[in-house]
Amino acid sequence: MRVTLFLMGTVWAAFVNSACRAQTLTAPSPLHVEIEGKAPAPDRVLDLPPLPKGEVSLIGGMVARMDPIHDRIVVRAFGGRDVTVDFDVRTAVLRGATTVSAREIRPGTRIYADTILKDGRIFAKTVRIETNATLGETRGQVTGYDAAKRVLHVRDIISSQPFTVRLTGVTEIRAGGEPVQATELVSGTLVRVFFRSGFEGVNSAQKIDILARPGSTFTFSGKIAVLDLRDRHLTLSETSSDNTFEVALDSLPSDAKLRLKEGMDVVVQARFDGHKYQAQRIEPVSTSQQPTPQP
């Protein structure tokens, strides 16, 4: 009898214990509810990572080319050099205080970009499309001057595109630091134009620097960046600035050309013929004895 009662008690205890476990499993778990309430994890394939933090640089200029396929903008920066800037969906494009589409960035548009270095390339965090009149700069060659309308026609030295600017009563024209008349703006003259870009594409010249007239001679010092003996020219990177000059070698004797090497520091005496600089003489110098270029 005792054995029977013991077995019955064991069975009853097992039944109660099993029922308690079943009740525990069916009860809602706070941990389970908390997990279900979480937002879905980000898609690492589709979502772009946050932009790296770093020093921000401002680049301003005119859009020379827009490449929507590779998400790149070529900006002709104020100062005359082309800068390639990357962008993507993380880039904020603003016109005034309004966010606009990247399609609003067109060639000829003047922009300011807050940029960082990303994977060794310049990346725009923000692009601001200029809406007001701005002061710009261009370098080019005079193709004509209409004295009656006071309109100067210039071929841009970077894009080779025509550029028109109107002279006003306050336009300052200088050559070698001295004021000159607008009659000095003959065809073939190299100029640097500082202009104010207004609405409807009207550009007014604020200042015009005459850099070279046809027939004038110049002395440059710098490093030979590119040497092309087949095409008979070299590209000189000037020592005192970021300027580069393409110098023709047609007038040099063959033995003088063969002495030239890329990376060599030289002094170049050249004559501007209205189309290009023609080297008259090129002398190598040591880097510690480079003279300051004089026109």
CATH 2.40.50.320 segments of the chain: 57-129, 134-212
Name the pLDDT band for 140 (thresholds 50, 70, 90). confident
d(CA 96, CA 210): 35
Q: Is the pLDDT of residue 283 over 70?
A: yes
Residue 205 contacts residue 152 (beta carbons within 8 Å): yes
pLDDT tens, position by position, 179-229 = 999 999 999 999 999 887 654 456 788 899 998 888 888 888 899 999 998
Mean pLDDT, residues 127-135 taken together: 72
Per-residue model confidence as pLDDT tens digits over 70-107: 899 998 876 567 889 999 999 999 988 888 888 888 77
Query: Would you state the pLDDT for residue 25?
Result: 43
Which has more pLDDT, 238 or 284?
Answer: 284
Separation of alpha carbons 13 and 79, rounded Å: 91
pLDDT at 210: 93
- Model confidence band, residue 64 (pLDDT cutoffs 50, 70, 90): confident
More confident residue, 114 or 56: 114
Query: CATH 2.40.50.140 occupies which residues in the chain?
Result: 217-289
Which residue in 270, 162, 255, 168 sits closest to 216, CA to CA? 270
More confident residue, 123 or 10: 123
> Considering the domain 57-129, what is its CATH architecture?
Beta Barrel (2.40)
Mean pLDDT for the stretch of residues 166-188? 90
* Partners of 82 in beta bridges: 76
pLDDT at 127: 94
- Residue 171 C-alpha from the chain's centroid: 29
Three-state DSSP state, 33: helix
* Res 34 pLDDT > 50: no
> How far apart are the C-alpha atoms of 116 and 122, rounded to whole Å?
6
**Residue-level pLDDT at 207:** 92
pLDDT score for 101: 86
Could you please report the per-residue DSSP string of 238-269? Answer: ETTSS-EEEEE-TTS-HHHHHT--TT-EEEEE
Query: 43-51 contacts: CB < 8 A, separation 24 or more?
Result: 48/88, 48/89, 48/90, 51/90, 51/116, 51/118, 51/123, 51/125
Q: Could you confirm whether domain 217-289 is CATH 2.40.50.140?
A: yes
DSSP result, 142-194: EEEEETTTTEEEEEETTT--EEEEE--TT-EEEETTEE--GGG--TT-EEEEE
Report pLDDT for 24.
Answer: 43
The pTM score is 0.46
Report the CATH fold assignment for 134-212.
OB fold (Dihydrolipoamide Acetyltransferase, E2P) (2.40.50)
Kindly state the helix (H) or strand (E) to which residue 289 belongs, with its residue range. Answer: none
Between residues 185 and 50, which one has the greater pLDDT?
A: 185
Res 3: pLDDT: 44
